[in-house]
């Protein structure tokens, strides 16, 4: 697959829909396996990220799962083969999977996770890599790895989770591997809000719609600034990046459109220039 846009791309384990301009729903599509991760799905997620990175028509991505699960983590067949893998083989698989999570996190556009059911292990990592998480009341979350005799630190979770819920909550979840329901996830800040199952995609789409109404370059710089400044060594370093981004954005045609719309009380039309 070498196509340049999401609408032209074809996948076996992902379903891509464009409900409206700029907004794409990406559905993990292995419902009979609770959308469990295997090498084919990791490869397609990596390709998806490559396409999003170069497709100027993508403003916001909504990530969800088919059927009753978001993503149950590693496929059972994959897990059963772990003892047979040599250390170098296992390391290569680890590196490939972790690189996909990192690439999803680094996408230049906002990602909204619409978590419709279980998000475990690598599935939790995918949800954590999103910028915002909306959960169905049926959603549940757990780190899972530590329950399989492995370390609880896997595919970026030990970096992502503490930054979202704090070190105390992250330590408990990662050391116990226990499941967390949607309401508890909301209380600890793991998800932004909880809605009834039938409201999950409409809520995620409305949030995506509000994001997509902003200028593409402004969204990109905002996401970049948040990701860099969460670990900024000082307030001064964070402000320096903010100052740079504001000056860059002020030179775009879209900022002129925004200012004109503000003065005329109209709706700006952003072109990404």
Predicted pLDDT at 127: 98
Predicted pLDDT at 257: 75
Checking 173-180 for CB contacts under 8 A at 24+ apart, the result is 173/141, 173/142, 173/143, 174/143, 174/146, 175/146, 176/146, 177/142, 177/143, 177/144, 177/145, 177/146, 177/147, 177/152, 178/142, 179/140, 179/141, 179/142, 180/140, 180/141, 180/142
* pTM for this predicted structure: 0.91
Predicted pLDDT at 15: 95
Predicted pLDDT at 87: 86
With beta carbons less than 8 A apart as the criterion, state whether 135 and 182 touch. Answer: yes
Predicted pLDDT at 255: 75
**From CA 201, how far away is CA 145, in angstroms rounded?**
29
């Amino acid at each position: 697959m070498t196509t340049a846009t999401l609408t032209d791309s074809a996948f076996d384990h992902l379903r891509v829909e464009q409900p409206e301009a700029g907004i794409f729903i990406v559905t993990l599509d292995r419902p009979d396996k609770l959308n469990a991760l295997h090498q084919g799905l990791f490869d397609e997620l990596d390709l998806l990220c490559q396409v999003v990175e170069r497709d100027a028509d993508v403003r916001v991505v909504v990530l969800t799962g088919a059927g009753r699960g978001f993503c149950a983590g590693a496929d059972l067949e994959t897990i059963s083969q772990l003892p047979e893998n040599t250390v170098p083989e296992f390391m290569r698989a680890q590196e490939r999977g972790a690189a996909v999570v990192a690439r999803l996190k680094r996408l230049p556009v906002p990602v909204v996770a619409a978590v419709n059911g279980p998000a475990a292990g690598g599935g939790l990592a995918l949800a954590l890599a999103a910028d915002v998480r909306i959960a169905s009341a049926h959603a549940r979350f757990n780190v899972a790895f530590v329950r399989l005799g492995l370390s609880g630190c896997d595919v970026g979770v030990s970096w992502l989770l503490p930054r979202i819920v704090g070190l105390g909550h992250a330590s408990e979840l990662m050391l116990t591997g226990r499941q967390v329901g949607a309401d508890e996830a909301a209380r600890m800040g793991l998800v932004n809000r909880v809605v009834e199952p039938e409201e999950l995609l409409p809520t995620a789409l409305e949030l995506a719609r509000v994001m997509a109404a902003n200028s593409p370059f402004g969204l990109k710089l905002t996401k970049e600034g948040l990701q860099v400044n969460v670990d900024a060594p000082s307030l001064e370093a964070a402000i320096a990046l903010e100052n740079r981004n504001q000056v860059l954005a002020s030179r775009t045609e879209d900022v002129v459109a925004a200012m004109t719309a503000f003065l005329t009380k109209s709706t700006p039309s952003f072109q990404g220039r």
